[in-house]
Amino acid sequence: MSNRRNFIKNAGLASLGVLSACQMKPKENTIESRKKGPVIKPLAISTWKNGMDANVAAWKVLSKGGKAIDAVESGVKVVEANPDDMSVGYGGRPDRDGIVTLDACIMDSTGNAGSVCALENIMHPISVARKVMDDTPHVMLAGKGALQFALEFGFKQEDLLTEKSKQEFEKWRLTSEYKPLINIENHDTIGMLALDQNGDISGACTTSGLAYKMHGRVGDSPIIGAGMYCDNEVGGAVATGMGELVMKTLGSFLVVELMNQGMSPQQAVEEAILRIVKKIPGYEEFQIGYLAINKNGEVGAYSLHRGFNYALYADDSNNLIDSNYYLK
Ligand code: GLY
């Protein structure tokens, strides 16, 4: 891209308040320069400890030369089916009416995307989101419409409320205190990004959302650009934590756009957390974590509070890594 076109692009974004002063410095990490660096691929990166199991499933696809989109779907399905993960899919904590409602989204390297929100009684919302992406002209289906669509495609209805989750809910009802806990059981949402051997990027994000939320509340996870976003020319990002903060700053799109403007994945996730700090009063009460990758397989991770970790599978090795964080 010519300098003039870069200038016009940056000037336009600056007038919209998208770029801070530091971002308007000359680019040190442009898309052009990133293409020249060593590329680490394939790789899979997932939020939280349960991302380790998700990565193993994704790696089975990636190591055989499979597509990033198939890897992320297979990966997050492992966590959706795990009743011990009480923030995602089967066994997820219900809303304040005792109903488990699920949000999920998926995006491929062509920029195609699908999502479902407030979906009930389906074990794998990510696969329903994929069907929305692959087999409809739409991006998002909600509630009863999403369920009807899933049933038409042969998904089975199942009771997702486990005995453990039900007992916790009954206990919560005694006080009904509505205060999200930071790092609930050290996991919240599974968000995954993959870079395949072909150099293509895809992402997936799935959750049962905030525990004991109002019935009908939808978080960031099914919102393309909030809970997850990919641009195959640039990179991808996923978010975890209190969805309202991510939605108000369109966090994952922001991270990818910052990379598009020249930031490294690490610089971009840190800037996105700073955006929350600057814009959202009371942010200290909540946890937010971002992961990002670029086309070179460079990664970024950052959170508001201590306690966010992520699983990175690259170079045939799967590792759980503590994220750096803002509130020291
Ligand atoms: N990040 C998940 C949610 O807020 O629903």
CA angle 266/202/140 to nearest 5° reads 110
95 Cβ below 6 A of ligand 1: no
Q: pTM for this one?
A: 0.88
pLDDT at 188: 76
3-state SS string for 5-40: HHHHHHHHHHHCCCCCHHHHCCCCCCHHHHHHCCCC
pLDDT at 226: 98
Residue 177 confidence class, pLDDT cut points 50, 70, 90 = confident
Q: Has residue 1 got a pLDDT over 80?
A: no
Whether 136 is catalytic is no
Q: SS3 of 276, please?
A: helix
209 Cβ below 6 A of ligand 1: yes
Q: Which of 47, 101, 189, 207 is catalytic?
A: 189
Q: For residues 224-234, give the mean pLDDT.
A: 98
pLDDT at 15: 32
pLDDT at 182: 66
pLDDT at 39: 84
List the residue whose alpha carbon is closest to atom 4 of ligand 1: 243
Residue 4 confidence class, pLDDT cut points 50, 70, 90 = very low
pLDDT at 135: 98
Q: Has residue 171 got a pLDDT over 90?
A: yes
Q: How far is CA 278 from CA 67, 248, 271, 283, 288, in A?
A: 38, 12, 10, 9, 14
Question: What are the backbone angles phi and psi of residue 165, rounded to the nearest 5°?
Answer: -65, -40
The ligand 1 atom at the shortest distance from the C-alpha of residue 242 is 4
